[in-house]
Structure 1
Amino acid sequence: MTGKPSVLFVCVHNAGRSQMAAGWLRHLAGDTVEVRSAGSAPADSVNPAAAEAMREVGIDITGHTPKLLEYETAQDSDVIITMGCGDACPVFPGKRYEDWKLADPAGKGIEAVRPIRDEIRDRVEKLLAELTS
């Protein structure tokens, strides 16, 4: 990677895990990393429990809209992080690729989403340290 690295977070609905991860990376990295997120079958809106969990730590993801994963978005990303989308998540040759095994916050209440949020924060912090070292 040269210049500003770009990271793409992908999950099925782009409404929970990938939105939380993108929110964390934007918050922690500022403008040092280009942050993207998308889904293989995007929902209509961000998961309300995920949004509330992030709001509790001072990060607002309510203004973000789930987006469809486009080939060009993945092609233009340096790092692609998938989250529980199985065969629906593509692998692009020549990219740094990680699959984060995370519980799905869909249909869960805030008590169940908080630990997912915190695990995502830990993973994003590690990723950011690797990108900036």
Structure 2
Amino acid sequence: MSGKPSVLFVCVHNAGRSQMAAAFLTHLAGEAVEVRSAGSAPAEAVNAAVVEAMAEVGIDISAEIPKVLTFDAVEASDVCVTMGCGDTCPVFPGKRYLDWALEDPAGQGVAAVRPIRDEIRARVQGLIAELGV
């Protein structure tokens, strides 16, 4: 990795886990990291319980829109963090891949999303330390 590291977070719908991870990395690392998120089968909107849970910690993701996973997004990223998207994430040589096993917040209320949110924040903090930013 030369210069500013780039991280891509991928989950199936890009409506929950990957949105929270991208928001935490942007919030905690600022301009030091280029952040992307995408989904292998994007939903129409970010999960409302996820938006509410993130607002509770002072991060507004209400304007975010789920995005489709592209080869270009993976190719442009130094680190690709998958969260339950299985084999749909394309693999490129020289990229670092992490798979975070996290419960899917889809269909759950904000009370169930909070522990997922907190686990994601802890993992993002660890990733920031690993990246040295």
- Structure-1-length-normalised TM-score: 0.97
TM-superposed CA distance for 1:93, in Å, is: 2.2
In 2, Cα distance between equivalents of 1:58 and 1:35: 19
In 1, Cα distance between equivalents of 2:103 and 2:91: 21
Matched residue count: 133
TM-superposed CA distance for 1:130, in Å, is: 0.6
> Unpaired runs of 5+ in structure 2?
none
> Unpaired runs of 5+ in structure 1?
none
**After the TM superposition, which of the residue ranges 83-92 and 98-107 deviates more from structure 2?**
83-92
In 1, Cα distance between equivalents of 2:98 and 2:109: 27
- Aligned equivalent of 2:81: 81
- Structure-2-length-normalised TM-score: 0.97
Three-state SS of the structure 2 residue aligned to 1:115 is helix
Matched, 1:25 2:30: no
Aligned pairs for 1:96-107 within 5 A: 96-107=96-107
In 2, Cα distance between equivalents of 1:71 and 1:91: 9
| Moved >6 Å (runs of 4+) | none
TM-superposed CA distance for 1:94, in Å, is: 1.3
Three-state SS of the structure 2 residue aligned to 1:2 is coil
TM-superposed CA distance for 1:100, in Å, is: 0.2
Does structure 2 conserve the Cα–Cα contact (< 8 Å) formed by 1:53 and 1:113?
yes
In 2, Cα distance between equivalents of 1:81 and 1:127: 10
**After the TM superposition, which of the residue ranges 1-10 and 80-89 deviates more from structure 2?**
80-89
In 1, Cα distance between equivalents of 2:112 and 2:97: 27
Does structure 2 conserve the Cα–Cα contact (< 8 Å) formed by 1:11 and 1:89?
no
- Aligned equivalent of 2:93: 93
Percent identical pairs in the alignment equals 71
In 2, Cα distance between equivalents of 1:122 and 1:92: 27
TM-superposed CA distance for 1:63, in Å, is: 1.0
In 2, Cα distance between equivalents of 1:112 and 1:91: 32
